[in-house]
Amino acid sequence: MAVRQGTHIRRETPAPTRSADESAFWSDVDRHVIRYGGSFSPEIIESASGSYVYTADGRALLDFTSGQMSAILGHSHPEIVATVTRQMATADHLFSGMLSRPVVDLSRRLAQTLPEPLEKVILLTTGGESNEAALRMAKLVTGGHEVVSFSRSWHGMTQGAVAATYSSGRRGYGPVAPGNFALPTPDAFHPTFTHPDGSLDWQRQLDMGFDMVDAQSTGALAAAIVEPILSSGGIIDLPQGYLAALKRKCEERGMLLIVDEAQTGLCRTGDWYAFERDGIVPDILTLSKTLGAGLPLAAMITSPEIERAAHERGFLFFTTHVSDPLVAAVGNTVLDILERDSMAEQVARSGDRLRTGLTDIASRHAVVGDVRGRGLLQGIELVTPEDAGGSAVATGRDALGAAITERCLELGLHMNVVQLPGMGGIFRIAPPLNASDAELDLGLAILDQAIGDAAANTGDRPA
């Protein structure tokens, strides 16, 4: 499948003047809405269905981000809508100490999708919350408090999760939880340790990283927490074999390995779980975004042995919405659809189509330096003359990335550029898992035109 260069997507019309209602909307935004990171899209979204979101002025935007990387079955999936409607009329929220059938059913069914001994489940709301629970459990069970995570990690905004997050948001908030150490991110496109052929020597990098961890540790190492594909960190797919080597490092030090599959879990990469490729089983697995298909549902999953030790030490993680039946029922419907539609196999095929299209775009646009990722979580990285020294920080890339994002939106495609300083030239591409071939092809064609238009307008040429 090839994307035709210069494909004209749509005839544009001058931007309409804002109505009084729209002006009032944005006035309310300016006056009342706290800015919480990045900038707001300039469109008012009125509705969403399938792979599209619809704006107040009637435009359809193809959503290549699945909302916040979460609406894996598209927006307003009819089976999800039916489940929410039914469950809201039955039991939506209960006292945290009460259990319902949807919660126990989902716990059992999640365990059945996983290798042994991952079979003990707690259902929560967000990725940050599930990672917080995992870190608390690891610290309690091991007796340590020190945590290792990647230098470009993102694990959430709660205390323990944000302390293990290095990609952004550390400055200006005072001390984080003590005992957090950064491990070098194995970025094959910007390798810091190389083989003679220039390729990334990730094993030597990992060894050096743990030499540094050991030098700083007070002997209280508790856990390493990692994403199999760093998403906010720039769609960095861990080299095959890395997770297995990391698990050995953890076992040698009495640490637990926590794998954060907020974005990669439940068929997103073409496997049910991204860690499966390395043939390892994490000590603790966390899920979130993909589990609720757009609703706030997360899970932490571990072994009976670890759960028993935590319980005996008084593990406490009461939250307002732990074990809520409404979202648990949605999670069951998500599993129904993924299993019925053989979604892992479907995503593997769609992912090949997406990769072919992105590779074709890269072959014709010199500003596209790299294509990476798995399944329907892929990314491209731009290169500009400012990158000549190999630096991962380039203001030229940020400007070009912003221009491409804006042009995509004008042409009817919502794309997500990494919203971190110096990384605005990296796009995260995550369509719904059930996006059609026609929708993938349309998105690729729009991206192709947007890159060409933006590069021509900014005068960017390869170094």
Cis peptide leading into residue 78 (ω within 30°): no
What backbone torsions phi and psi does residue 313 show, to the nearest 5 degrees?
-95, 5
What are the tens digits of pLDDT across the range 106-160? 999 999 999 999 999 999 999 999 999 999 999 999 999 999 999 999 999 999 9
Give dist(CA 291, CA 289) in Å, integer.
6
Active-site residue, from 428, 439, 448, 460: 428
Has 227 been annotated as catalytic? Answer: yes
Has 260 been annotated as catalytic? Answer: yes
What are the tens digits of pLDDT across the range 149-204? 999 999 999 999 999 999 988 999 999 999 999 999 999 999 999 999 999 999 99
| DSSP track, 326-340 | HHHHHHHHHHHHHHH
Has 249 been annotated as catalytic? Answer: no
Q: Which of 17-26, 280-289, 375-384 has the lowest mean pLDDT?
A: 17-26
Q: Reply yes or no on domain 80-340 having CATH 3.40.640.10.
A: yes
* Sequence spans of domains, the chain: 39-69+343-458, 80-340
Active-site residue, from 260, 278, 283, 439: 260
pLDDT value for 421:
63
Has 370 been annotated as catalytic? Answer: no
For the record, the structure tokens of 256 come out as 């637990």
Give dist(CA 312, CA 283) in Å, integer.
18
pLDDT value for 11:
41
For residue 315, count CB atoms less than 10 angstroms from its CB and return exposed for 0-12, middle for 13-18, buried for 19 or more: middle
457: pLDDT confidence band, cut at 50, 70 and 90? Answer: confident
Active-site residue, from 136, 146, 152, 154: 154
Give dist(CA 364, CA 98) in Å, integer.
58
pLDDT value for 135:
98
Active-site residue, from 187, 201, 227, 448: 227
pLDDT value for 5:
44
Active-site residue, from 63, 136, 201, 263: 263
7: pLDDT confidence band, cut at 50, 70 and 90? Answer: very low
Given a cut of 80, whether residue 275 has pLDDT beyond it is: yes
Across the chain, how many H-helices and E-strands are there? 14, 17
Active-site residue, from 289, 372, 397, 407: 289
Q: Where are the beta strands (DSSP E) in 248-397?
A: 256-260, 284-287, 298-302, 368-374, 377-382
For domain 39-69+343-458, the CATH architecture is Alpha-Beta Complex (3.90)
**How is the beta sheet containing 284-287 ordered, strand by strand?**
120-124, 298-302, 284-287, 256-260, 221-226, 146-150, 180-183
The whole-model pTM stands at: 0.94
Three-state DSSP state, 315: coil
Three-state DSSP state, 229: strand
